[in-house]
Amino acid sequence: MTPFGTRLAAAIEDRGRFCVGIDPHAALLHDWGLSDDVASLERFALTVVEAVAPVVGVVKPQSAFYERFGSKGIAVLERVVAESRAAGALVVMDAKRGDIGSTTQAYADAYLDPTSPLGSDALTVSPFLGFGSLDPMVEACLEHGGGLFVLALTSNKEGPEVQHARTADGTVAGTVLAHLRTLNAGVVPVGSFGAVVGATIGETAEDLDVNGPLLVPGFGAQGGTVADLERILGRAARWALPSSSREVLRAGPDATALRDAALRGNDAVRGLGA
């Protein structure tokens, strides 16, 4: 399969860089006038897919909001993946998986093998058991044309105690970014192995240019602005995917309003990194 980075570059060119999070948490279900049950989960998630997947380049379902309903919730997530991809959007599964050995391989089989019901274009992962623990996922991406977004600099207040910690080679976050640069070295137009960098981290001295995409949650309703992205990301902004869920999802349940909100988000970041 064509590498994820190549497919992502085409998606950005064709549809823009805005990534819509499909996160059916209980408060949003309530705001839509829905109950907190599987039938409402399905109605919410598939309404969003129908509205936004044909017009944006990337969608990002958060697995936890489906997992909490058990097997029936996972069945809805499978439909979100399949129907989003059928509509032409790339799917980044936001599951933040990370383990070692055969367990990591099993996660790779679940999320990065295109024959799996949950097989997605890319997966968010945690490197904090050591970057080498991700090797089975990296190999799966190389085999199947998938991508990874590796946690590097997140916006949560607890993140810096690990990500800013210093080793003999620099910070933990800097080490993660260096590994990504190695994986993406020489790849054109852009590598398939990216980082997760929060839109509200403030300032950073880290070099964020990894020749790979940057998934940037926290844009919009969570406070991140275009000016923040330009300042934080610098030259790496050219491959940034600003991500928002509430900014779009609170426009529902009207499908036209959802689509319009997604298009506004796309327009807002269209010139990022130019």
User: Does 96 participate in catalysis according to the annotation?
Assistant: yes
The phi-psi region of residue 92 (left if phi > 0; otherwise alpha if psi is between -120 and 50; otherwise beta) is beta
Q: What is the CA radius of gyration of the chain?
A: 17
The count of other CB atoms within 10 Å of the CB of residue 230 is: 15
Write down the catalytic residue from 60, 72, 96, 157. Answer: 96
| Angstrom distances, CA of residue 174 to CA of 64, 162, 187, 205 | 28, 11, 20, 9
Residues with Cβ < 8 Å from 172, sequence gap 6 or more?
Answer: 128, 162, 163, 164, 165, 166
Answer for the pair 148, 137: CB distance below 8 angstroms, yes or no.
Answer: yes
- State both tokens at 77: 């997530």
| Angstrom distances, CA of residue 169 to CA of 174, 176, 177, 211 | 8, 11, 12, 20
Question: What CA–CA distance (Å, rounded) separates 114 from 145?
Answer: 9
Question: What CA–CA distance (Å, rounded) separates 58 from 77?
Answer: 16
Number of residues written out for the chain: 274
Catalytic positions are 96
